[in-house]
Amino acid sequence: MKRIGFIIIIAILAILNVYQYLISMEQLDRKDIDGKFSSTINKIATDISTESSIAVLEDLVELNTLSKYTSYAVTDGGFIVDYPSILLTEYRNLVNFNKALSNQPQLVQSLRELSKDPNNKLISEKVISLLKENL
C-alpha cells in the first residue's frame, strides 16, 4: 500500500513538473512574439522611409497577425488588437487611392516611438491620425 502511495506521489510530481515546463515555454513564446511585434513596428517605419509600399503592407499584415498572440493583447482592455488592423486598412486605402504620405517624417518618428512602447494608446492614435490625414 505504501508503494502505491509513493508511485502516486511520484506521478503527481512528474505531472506538475511537465505542467510547469509548458507554462514557462508559453511565457518564453510570448516574449518572443512581443519582441517580434515591436521589431515589426520598427520595420514598418523603415519601409515607409524607403517608400516601399508592398513591404509596408506585408509588414502590416504580419503586425496584425502578431497582435492576436502578443501578451500586449491581454493588457489595456485588448486595445492592441485594434490598432494593427486599423493601420493596415488605412495604409491599404492610401495605396488603393494612390495617395502619397505628405507627413512621412512625422509618421516614421511616431512609429519608432510606438515600437518602443507598443501598448501606448496615445502614440498609436497619433499614428492612425497621421495616416488618415493623407486620405
The answer to whether residue 59 is domain-embedded is yes
The answer to whether residue 73 is domain-embedded is yes
Q: What is the pLDDT of residue 78?
A: 52
The answer to whether residue 15 is domain-embedded is no
The answer to whether residue 7 is domain-embedded is no
On the 0-12 / 13-18 / 19+ scale of CB atoms within 10 A, 86 is middle
Question: With pLDDT > 90 as the criterion, what percentage of the chain qualifies?
Answer: 51
- Give yes or no for a contact between 63 and 41, defined as CB atoms under 8 angstroms apart: yes
In the chain, the largest separation of any two C-alpha atoms, in whole Å, equals 80
Q: What is the pLDDT of residue 13?
A: 67
The answer to whether residue 126 is domain-embedded is yes
What pTM does this model have?
0.78
Which amino acid does the sequence have at 119? N
- List per-residue pLDDT tens for the chain, 135 residues long: 667 776 777 777 677 666 676 665 666 577 788 899 999 999 999 999 998 889 999 999 999 888 888 877 665 555 565 889 999 999 999 999 999 899 999 999 999 999 999 988 899 999 999 999 987
- Give yes or no for a contact between 73 and 80, defined as CB atoms under 8 angstroms apart: yes
Domain of 104? 33-132
